[in-house]
Amino acid sequence: MARIGIIGSEGAMGQALAGVIDASDHEWAGGIDRGGDAASLADASDVLVDFSSPQALDANLHAAIGAGIPLVIGTTGLEERHHGAIDDAARAVAVLQTGNTSLGVTLLAHLVREAAARLGPDWDIEILEMHHRRKVDAPSGTALLLGEAAAAGRGIALGDHAVRGRDGCTGAREEGTIGFAALRGGTVAGEHSVILAGSEERITLSHSAENRAIFARGAVRAAEWMIGRAPGRYAMDQVLGI
């Protein structure tokens, strides 16, 4: 039994998490939203789970370090400086950050890496995602995670090869780039496709989230797994053993 503290507790993911915790052996330690005190929440928790906003990151890392407890970060829209702060914090406590806590996307990332490793750069890689109209960041954290997997398979740095959105007279596609396209509308929980387009043939690897419970279940599983871990930065495939 673990006491799980939720950052972003009134949000869509916070509510989904509360449902999964209620149905588990774990206890809801409390929750905060904008303006809440992460340090007090951390003192009452065995592990923190964050589905809120990048603006909350520094306070959340600080609170986890202060209380000496692990932190699971599901919040997306993180920039390079956020990842630097996570790396720094991971010297003091266990931190897991992922753009997608679901089993399906974690496995999909492995498949994408494998496909990109086996196909040459003449196979164009494009990543398409669609989410609900409330989503504030693009490309999605999952799309970026899949892009990182494709880049790792190819042995390149995503930052040097990503093309994030096209508009106007863009010129022909540059070989070896990884393209991103984001659609927003309705109540879509999360759709991702990685398209590998070769000459006269095409492979599409896709994941469809039917609801947020898949993310919440993965996040609770990660929270359980993180308790008692040594300081360091961990990933979802370690939690799931894939």
Ligand X SMILES: O=C(O)C1=N[C@H](C(=O)O)C[C@H](O)C1
Phi/psi of residue 16, each to 5°? -65, -40
Q: How far is CA 140 from CA 24, 76, 182, 193, in A?
A: 29, 7, 8, 12
x/- mask, ligand X, residues 183-212, rule CB under 6 A, reads -------x----------------------
* Binding footprint of ligand NDP, residue count (CB under 6 A): 26
Distance CA 63, CA 232 (A): 16
Residue ranges in 95-124 that form contacts with ligand X under rule CB under 6 A: 99-100
Residue 70 as a binder of ligand X (CB under 6 A): the answer is no
Q: How far is the CB of 150 from ligand X (least distance, A)?
A: 15
x/- mask, ligand NDP, residues 92-121, rule CB under 6 A, reads ------xxxx--------------------
The amino acid sitting at 25 is D
Q: Is 135 a catalytic residue?
A: yes
Phi/psi of residue 168, each to 5°? 80, -155
Of 107, 111, 57, 112, the C-alpha closest to 83 is 57
Helices (H), 90-155: 103-118, 141-154
Q: Would the annotation count 204 as a binding residue?
A: no
Q: Which of 5, 70, 74, 153 binds ligand NDP (CB under 6 A)?
A: 74
- Of 90 and 144, which has the nearer Cβ to ligand NDP? 144
Distance CA 180, CA 157 (A): 15
* Token pair recorded at residue 103: 């089993």
The amino acid sitting at 65 is I
Q: How far is the CB of 23 from ligand NDP (least distance, A)?
A: 18
Distance CA 60, CA 97 (A): 12
Annotation: binding site for (S)-2,3,4,5-tetrahydrodipicolinate: 132, 141-142
Residues marked as catalytic: 131, 135
Contact set with ligand X (CB under 6 A): 76, 99-100, 131, 135, 140-142, 190
Contact set with ligand NDP (CB under 6 A): 7-8, 10-14, 32-34, 36, 51-53, 55-56, 74-77, 98-101, 141, 215
